[in-house]
Structure 1
Amino acid sequence: MIKIKTREEIEIMRESALIVSRTLGMLAKEVKPGVSTLYLDKLAEDFIRAEGAIPGFLGLYDFPNTLCMSPNSQVVHGIPNKEPLKEGDIISIDCGAKKNGFYGDHAYTFAVGEIKAETQKLLDITKESLYVGIREFKVGNRVGDVGFAIQNFTEKHGYGVVRELVGHGLGKEMHEDPEMPNYGRRGRGKKFVEGMVVAIEPMTNLGTHKIRQHNDGWTITTLDNKPSAHFEHDVAIVNGKPELLSTFKYINDALGIETNEEDEFRANS
């Protein structure tokens, strides 16, 4: 059952989402060759707790850490470890936080030093597909409209759209209805209404869309071991339109990126 949020609840959720946004912004300055994902995980846990929140992933479904850290061919759910990042890697950092009873949850894929041009394009297209999907999250549209938009945009570039892993509703639970696939058919699925909040999160592979799960029960990699990218925002329907609760502003500031890609999804737009 879809749980509709009041304006007051949406503002509480915005606070949780922005804690995650600031966490990712802090980490953006720390992602570099020689740094371990376990070190980044500890930084994130300390930062989230200092913000008066609790890590949203730690212990959720028995996950052992604060961050899902998924380098290179790992799609999602990678477990932090002591292995240092290397020049040319990419790393998806998926982060959650819970404050005042509500979750924030979003993700960004970072370049570690200089990366290959084809890998950078994968990151760029996957992030752009996120906003392509968000535009369809509005009153009167349906789940399939978002999935179709993301899939159509991404597959035009020859990339594989992961089928088995999807976005989701968000609120007092990390995963609520509806599921939000990154593929689909227009006009299909549950209809969007005022007050819905979801996490939209394209997961795009440089090669095949097929994946496999590892024996640790968490780590997911591409079947052909080619790189995968993952970007995620928390979005509410306010006044019939999509409004971002999370932001990549802190990441952009840390990395010196100038962009207006989020402007159309702001409250005053």
Structure 2
Amino acid sequence: MIFASVLILLGTLLLLVIGISIIQQHKARVESERRSELARHRAIIDETEEVLSNTGLIPCSSSVILVLYRRVEDALTSALPLARNQTSDYERRLIDLRGQIQALQSAPKPAPAIELFRLPDSDRQILTLVQTLKKMKAILRAEHNKGKVEPSVFSQEEQRIDSLQLRINVDSMLGRSRAACFMKQYGSAKQMVTKALATLHTIKAQTPNDPFIGLKVEEAKAMLEEITGAQMSAQPIRIKAKEDDDDIDVLFQPKKKW
């Protein structure tokens, strides 16, 4: 009887230990999932706020700014119940953000003309600009796939981003071509301006009425003529030098005996 009681007690203790272990594992798994989910929302917030901080480099419309604001708002709302000790910070940020959204909705700003956009002088700013446009396009597409962006807004804003990326690409190629020409690297300069022209002609076939494309085509053609002229002007010097070398070789070559 005592032996049976001991066995029952040991069995109960074993079940209790197993139960506690299962509960602890479950709590650890829940906590790990909470941290992982919170980290995911924080990453969304950080990425979107980084894009927002760089919109000063880009002629952005109110529509795309609202898309970015609402993405941060959704992430903050989802992160709030997971934040625990940081709930007051998330609540404050939500209040501030909703105020910004309301202000922008009540007084939307007209989209700046893309034609007025100018590429920054700093290579670092250009790199930041390229990365920002790439992230902005990915965010816009992701929010559209979730049904949070109207198709007309998505199409218009994606077209603006594509146009800006084209301008940056073409301006960058023409800028590198000018630099190479200045360094008298005419082969590289010609290669880059020819590549820019090919890109422009491809786009011009799709959007023949874009004034930027027509302007850049004329600029690239003028640059190509200038580079070709500079290249031709540099060639006679080399030819003359070669002729002088040939004359010296003839002068000092061994005399023939007749």
Which is richer in strand?
Answer: 1
TM range (shorter): under 0.3
Tell me the TM-score normalized by structure 1. Answer: 0.24
Which has the higher Rg, Structure 1 or Structure 2?
A: 2
Higher relative CO (Cα under 8 Å, sequence separation at least 6) belongs to: 1
Which is richer in helix?
Answer: 2
